Amino acid sequence: MKHFPIFLAVAGRRIVLSGGGDAAMAKLRLLMKTEAHLTVIAAEVADDIRKWEAAGKLRVIPRAMAPGDALCAALFYAANEDNAEDARVSAIAHAEGALVNIVDNLADSQFITPAIVDRDPVTVAIGTEGAAPVLARAIKADLEERLPTSLGVLARIGKTFRHAVDVLPMGRKRRDFWSSFYFGAGPKAFAQHGATGVIPALETLLDERITARQTTGHVDLVGAGPGDPELLTLKARKALDKADVVIHDRLVTGDILELARREAIIIDAGKQGFGPAMQQSDIDALIVQHALDGHHVVRLKAGDPTVFGRLDEELAALDAHGIPYTIVPGITAASAAVAGIGQSLTQRGRNSSVRLITGHDTKGYADHDWTALARKGEVAAIYMGKKSARFIQGRLLMHGADPATPVTIVENVSRADQQIIATTLAELEPTLTQAKLQGPALTFYGLAPRAAQITAQSLKEFA
Ligand code: SAH
């Protein structure tokens, strides 16, 4: 982030703008929404600016800017649409202590003006650091459509009612009250009776909440997918939006945690591969405790919670305490990894079944039906297979698997640093040792990346 977004207190402060044409007017339209004192300095100004002056919205100094004009200004805009003049006036303003913005000159500006969605006092500022104004406009249009125009009025009336809501216990109950107001009772009352209907709606809602029974918590066991936030399900997004507490795995990425409700408590329950950082029983207890406190808990697990996720232990703990839960499936690493190498998990004529196997379980290296796996055409997705690669390779070869069987390792599936390594069963262990993988990796036994396969095929055809 090269620009840090903040909301600056400008009520009663000076904002000075140099320029009187179209660029000046565009900025003034935004600035006139504030309670700042606006001064426009320009030898010539457009008719609209004159009208605004007549209406008392700003003051015009009808001459070119001179030293002293930006004294005590919080912000200064150079909007002359003339590089030399903008540079001259900016130097003056800068020397006089104002923060300077030069219209259409990102490099020389100390701050930039975001695209704004105005539902005063609710204001959304959108910035792209000048990289993609089109994108900012599209986001703005989208938000304009989604945020009811009554939102500002509701927020203003809601603010006057805040102290009354103090009768509700802090935390979840109060938050639920406000979210029911802003997204339910409030807009409805406003649509039916206008602003006068809003206070009675608030009173009714508060009465209901005061007499409501204590709510019990709820747990969503949510699949976070392999890492790319766009591979989250809508249900996962909604669960994160509502979460009071998020308890997540080591493999859940920061990008995804960012999507949790801002007030949510985020707890890292990461367990390191072999050495436990937090015991499963501690995690179970943690989930139960937060749910019993009446919270909406999101247990966020990498991939799909039903695949090597120790889901059943957590469900048993919840059942034991009668805590209601919902399982939200996610995209497991194997599905996302085959998508990354352009292959199917099953293929007519090649393999009609696929195994999801783990390299190790809680007791150490995991044993499997090696004889079956060693047969031609078998495909297996090996989870947690980094440390156990030598063991798996040895077992398969011992049971007669072809050393030339393709093996593909996909590290950091779906993330920006995804890496695909194609090898063979014979070379698996040395390849892994050499690759020194840092991130999570999934090993496909019996699958080569599609591109590699095509190249091999065409080489054969040419031979
Ligand atoms: N529930 C998860 C699996 C948890 S077990 C799922 O459905 O994907 C942890 C193992 O999953 C890791 O050791 C690794 O083998 C695999 N894994 C999880 N996320 C991964 C990712 N983004 N890239 C590669 N492998 C991943």
171-222 residue pLDDT tens:
778 888 998 898 889 989 998 999 999 999 999 999 988 876 656 789 999 9
- Is residue 156 located within the same domain as residue 233? no
- Is residue 297 located within the same domain as residue 406? no
Q: Is residue 62 part of a domain?
A: yes
With a 6 A CB cut-off, is 332 part of the ligand 1 pocket?
yes
Q: Is residue 223 part of a domain?
A: yes
- Is residue 339 located within the same domain as residue 298? no
* Three-state DSSP class for residue 63: coil
What local confidence, expressed as pLDDT, does residue 462 receive?
A: 54
Q: Taking 70 as the threshold, does the pLDDT of residue 453 lie above it?
A: no
- Is residue 233 located within the same domain as residue 182? no
- Is residue 238 located within the same domain as residue 280? yes
Nearest ligand 1 atom, CA 331: 7
> Which percentage of the chain shows pLDDT scores above 90?
78
**Where do the H-state alpha helices sit in 321-415?**
333-341, 370-373, 389-398
The H or E element that residue 438 is part of is: none
Q: Are 224 and 332 in contact (CB under 8 A)?
A: no
- Is residue 340 located within the same domain as residue 451? yes
Q: What is the CATH number of the domain that holds 351?
A: 3.30.950.10
Q: Is residue 126 part of a domain?
A: no
**Where do the H-state alpha helices sit in 170-296?**
172-180, 186-193, 198-211, 234-242, 254-257, 280-292
- Is residue 230 located within the same domain as residue 274? yes
Distance 73 CA to ligand 1 centre (A): 55
What local confidence, expressed as pLDDT, does residue 211 receive?
A: 77
Question: Which residues form the catalytic set?
Answer: 249, 271
Q: What is the CATH number of the domain that holds 302?
A: 3.40.1010.10
With the most atoms of ligand 1 within 8 angstroms of its CB, the residue from 360, 383, 388 to mutate is 383
What local confidence, expressed as pLDDT, does residue 410 receive?
A: 97
Q: What is the pLDDT of residues 306-347, one digit of tens each?
A: 999 999 999 999 999 999 999 999 999 999 999 999 999 999
* Three-state DSSP class for residue 259: coil
With a 6 A CB cut-off, is 226 part of the ligand 1 pocket?
yes
Q: What is the pLDDT of residues 263-279, one digit of tens each?
A: 889 999 985 544 456 88
What local confidence, expressed as pLDDT, does residue 147 receive?
A: 84
What local confidence, expressed as pLDDT, does residue 459 receive?
A: 54
Number of independent structural domains in the chain = 4
Residue 247 domain boundaries: 218-331
The H or E element that residue 113 is part of is: none
Cross-strand bridge partners of residue 16 = 39, 76
| 3-state SS record for 163-175 | HHHHHCCCCHHHH
- Is residue 107 located within the same domain as residue 73? yes
Instruction: Quote the CA–CA distance of 82 and 439 in Å, as a whole number.
Output: 52
- Is residue 342 located within the same domain as residue 455? yes
Spatial neighbors of 443 by CB under 8 A, at least 6 apart, are: 359, 381, 382, 385, 386, 389, 392, 407, 408, 409, 428
Q: Is residue 145 part of a domain?
A: no
- Say how many C-beta atoms besides its own lie within 10 A of residue 82's C-beta: 14
Work out the end-to-end distance of the chain between its first and last CA atoms, rounded to an integer number of angstroms.
53
Instruction: Quote the CA–CA distance of 93 and 66 in Å, as a whole number.
Output: 9
Q: Is residue 24 part of a domain?
A: yes
Nearest CA to ligand 1 atom 2: 303
Q: Is residue 120 part of a domain?
A: no
CA 222 to chain centre: 16
- Is residue 391 located within the same domain as residue 422? yes
Distance 289 CA to ligand 1 centre (A): 27
Domain end: 296, 331, 366, which one? 331
Average pLDDT over the chain, rounded to an integer: 91
Distance 16 CA to ligand 1 centre (A): 56
What local confidence, expressed as pLDDT, does residue 133 receive?
A: 81
What local confidence, expressed as pLDDT, does residue 461 receive?
A: 55
Nearest ligand 1 atom, CA 333: 8
- Is residue 419 located within the same domain as residue 379? yes
With a 6 A CB cut-off, is 340 part of the ligand 1 pocket?
no
Q: Taking 70 as the threshold, does the pLDDT of residue 418 lie above it?
A: yes
E-strand ranges in 19-121 read 37-41, 59-61, 73-78, 99-102, 115-119
Q: Are 359 and 385 in contact (CB under 8 A)?
A: yes
Q: What is the pLDDT of residues 110-139, one digit of tens each?
A: 999 999 999 988 999 999 987 888 899 999
Q: How far is CA 420 from CA 153, 365, 375, 431, 440, in A?
A: 54, 24, 25, 12, 12
Domain end: 166, 193, 211, which one? 211
Q: Is residue 134 part of a domain?
A: no
What local confidence, expressed as pLDDT, does residue 124 receive?
A: 95
- Is residue 369 located within the same domain as residue 441? yes
Q: Taking 90 as the threshold, does the pLDDT of residue 90 lie above it?
A: yes
Q: Is residue 387 part of a domain?
A: yes
